[in-house]
Structure 1
Amino acid sequence: MTLRAEPSHKSPDPAPSLPQRLPALTMMRFVAAALVFVFHVTMAQFFVDPAPQQTMLSLATQAGWTGVGFFFVLSGFVLTWSHRSSHTAGRFWRRRFFKIYPSHLLTAAFAFVLLVWVAGVGVDSGSALLNLLLVQSWSPLIEVRASLNGVAWSLSVEMLFYVMFPLLIRPIMAIRPERLWAWATGVVVVIFLVPVASSLLPREPTFPLGNMPVYDFWFVYQFPPVRLLDFAFGMILARIVMTGRRLPLDLGGSVALAVAAYALAPFFPSAYTLTAVMVVPLGLVIAAGAASAPSHEPTGLVSRTAIKLGEISFAFYLLHQMVLTYGRQWIGADHPMSTPAAFGVIALLLAVTLAVSWAQFTFVEAPIMRRFAARRTRPTAPS
């Protein structure tokens, strides 16, 4: 199956025929965040019965890597899609700062309070400072990357994306349309070579999850310059759709390919399952979702709910691990349970995570973006 988007004009800006909003991708964001939620549920050992626990492990271990990989490719895609030649680097960085940092600072404060006052765990000031500055993923030390709100390591990676985007967008926009697929293929080849490079790093100690060296896990999965490849791949895919290049699969075919790659991932060496196996299927899902985007806003309760879930997905991602950890303690369920009780507690914690995520988006993230993300201009006095 093939799919062709409407061709764009020769201008570096998207053609008027291409929709500026991509509701399909907004809805996909929550699916990716939910995959990470399921991954952390699996790691939390809710089930006393080893059978469902083992089933969850076999089904959901890949979910965490897949969800994060989706976000990294999606970042490059949507930022390129929404870019206009009139946008300045300062305007871009301002919007990204107010989109990311206030929510990060708030959840880091929550994490500090919970660690010190609830868990009674000391916080290393140096690691905490690196976390607050969003540079923790540059360190190979697990305790640094996992400090405060551990999931914020991915924001440290995103910060490099945002710093580099104004520098990358011009050469990527200058690639001739007929050469875009060649460039995309080249980036994917480099992604598959990253585990080869990581094999030169120390082999000890071993990371329990995935049975690979700790340095392999960090370099392949969390080192910002390496994950910049995912971001660049997303940028090139955006140009492929914007310029009307042919996609090998439509949305249905791309989703089927992603499901097949997910199922086959455990048969690959561990270092390849972190990024390489899923990067092309996830990129095709994003590209096909954008190419098939309707020109009108979604209607109906299901579509509006899906859009809202996509909007709160960033807050959901930042908050979910703390809710899973401390919410479980507060309701006295911090021990393995029977299968029905475990699923009941998981459903309750999911509902709580959705509620607090909605609150953070509604009362923190959205108001800050409205107030500070765009420079206010004074009205011109009438002559």
Structure 2
Amino acid sequence: MASPEQLTAESPPAGPKAPSLLDSLTGLRGLAAILVFCFHYTTFQMVFASGGGLEFAPLTRPMWLTMSGNFAVGSFFILSGFVLALTTRPGTSMANFCAKRVGKLFPVYFVTSVLAIAAIVLIGMPISATNIVLHLTLLQSWVPFQDIYHGVNPVTWSLSTEAFFYLLFPTALFLVHRLGTRALWWLLGAAVFLEFALPLYVMHYFTVAALPGHETFMSTGSRGGDLAYWFTLPFPPYRFLEFLVGMIGCVLLTRGALPRVRTCWAWSLCAVAYAIGTYTTGPLQRTSVGLVPLAVLVVALAQADMDGRPSLLRRKLFVELGKLSYGMYAIQLLVFLPTAPFLVRWLSSALGVSETTLGQPLWKACIMAGYFGLIVLLAVPLYRYVEVPAYDYAKRLYRDREPSPMFAAPVAAATAVLAPAATSTSVGGRSL
């Protein structure tokens, strides 16, 4: 899961005035937070083993929920590239940029990682020192074993991947800003082509069904095998294509090179892609199917906010969930994985119904809704007392350093269509 950006940037001159808040982009994170929770809750479940301990239950996720997690993570990555390109100021020093990225990503990650390690130890499941070190250093996505990149806190492979994006971002932004508009369109086409072509290549030439000697959480035999699954899920260079598409979309938008897109058409395109992806097998389902529709949606939502047009995702519910989405994402498995078996057993006894009955869709939906509410409540202190203070502190560091030429304003900025120089654009309701 990519982490929510809540940044502000000085906008380049020219063009019509944009509103100060691009709340629809924050709201999209809120919607993605709901989708990813539904995906995780129906994908990762634990039950009592015959020996009395806990073990992972077989996958029972409904087919129509298959794409929810894929769309959620894809939107996080595209949004991350779009928002960072939109909000990184020309006068930023490299030290300040790095401090802000660490301050945004690592504090919540560290707190939830420690909680995850403690939970694993308490429930008596094995954990290796190698796994802990790789996890705490954000390197787990580079190792093609499920017990590594899904180990400790299974969802945080996306944060390891996101850290790689941050590493490449200064160079990528420098190059993207200095390409002509036609070259950007060619680069965008190349990124989309690779997003589809690379999974097909990996599926054809790397068909290992399982990597021996390592535990698997997800069955990958029908999805191209473990290597194909790893390549198209956490592998940072491949997932960078989504981040890059978000960056290019932002730069094309600021140059006025994109047509106006009605949000209703963008939502319709996403709905069609969701339906197609539900019945698409293999690695294409996880990344490729949603790339273009989600990028179009991000652009359409940004345009709607800039024009002051109505947007469903500007509603307070979605915006507030968007602000909390990072904490919700990082903590959710730590809440329901170790507690759900005990809750189901207690409810069975208290209500006088069998555990099989509690596994029926209606009961499961009620329990799921209760957990969602609990996770939202737990994400509030993470946001207020960890994420916000850490980021506020980090963004004040090294502000007096020499501006980095990697963030220097390109000549093309003179044709941008965002707010005048006196206006700042914020995403998520907080400033840089």
TM-score with structure 2 length normalisation?
Answer: 0.77
Asked if 1:157 is matched to 2:169, the reply is no
Asked if 1:134 is matched to 2:138, the reply is yes
Partners of 1:278 and 1:134 lie apart in 2 by 26
- Structure having greater relative contact order (Cα 8 Å, sep ≥ 6): 2
**Residue in 2 that maps onto 1:22:** 22
Give the letter for the 1:191 counterpart: E
**Residue in 1 that maps onto 2:5:** none
**Residue in 2 that maps onto 1:101:** 106
Partners of 1:14 and 1:72 lie apart in 2 by 28
Partner residue of 1:309 out of 321, 327, 345: 321
Residue correspondence of structure 1 range 1-383 to structure 2 within 5 A: 13=12, 15=14, 17-19=17-19, 21-44=21-44, 57-117=62-122, 119-198=123-202, 199-205=204-210, 208=219, 211-212=222-223, 213-247=225-259, 249-294=261-306, 303-333=315-345, 336=356, 337=358, 338-375=360-397
Kept after mapping to 1: 8 A contact 2:39/2:65:
yes
Partners of 2:278 and 2:206 lie apart in 1 by 23
Kept after mapping to 1: 8 A contact 2:93/2:398:
no
**Residue in 2 that maps onto 1:6:** none
TM-score with structure 1 length normalisation?
Answer: 0.86
Partners of 1:157 and 1:61 lie apart in 2 by 21
Give the letter for the 2:94 counterpart: A
Deviation at 1:138, TM superposition (A): 0.3
Deviation at 1:27, TM superposition (A): 0.5
Partners of 2:158 and 2:229 lie apart in 1 by 14
Partners of 2:19 and 2:172 lie apart in 1 by 23
User: Can you give the 5+ residue segments of structure 2 that lack an aligned partner in the other structure?
Assistant: 1-9, 47-57, 212-217, 347-354, 401-432
Superposed CA offset, 1:1-24 (max 9, x none)? xxxxxxxxxx99475734563110
Kept after mapping to 2: 8 A contact 1:157/1:223:
yes
Partners of 1:162 and 1:288 lie apart in 2 by 25
- Pair 15,269 (structure 1): closer, same or farther in 2 beyond 3 Å: farther
- Pair 291,326 (structure 1): closer, same or farther in 2 beyond 3 Å: same
Deviation at 1:200, TM superposition (A): 1.8
- Pair 56,150 (structure 1): closer, same or farther in 2 beyond 3 Å: closer
Give the letter for the 1:372 counterpart: A
Partners of 1:283 and 1:344 lie apart in 2 by 33
Q: Secondary structure at the match of 1:175?
A: coil
Partners of 2:23 and 2:172 lie apart in 1 by 25
Partners of 2:11 and 2:21 lie apart in 1 by 18
Give the letter for the 2:315 counterpart: S
User: Can you give the 5+ residue segments of structure 1 that lack an aligned partner in the other structure?
Assistant: 1-10, 47-52, 379-383
How many residue pairs end up in the alignment?
361
Deviation at 1:332, TM superposition (A): 3.6
Q: Secondary structure at the match of 1:147?
A: coil
Deviation at 1:275, TM superposition (A): 0.6
Kept after mapping to 1: 8 A contact 2:132/2:152:
yes
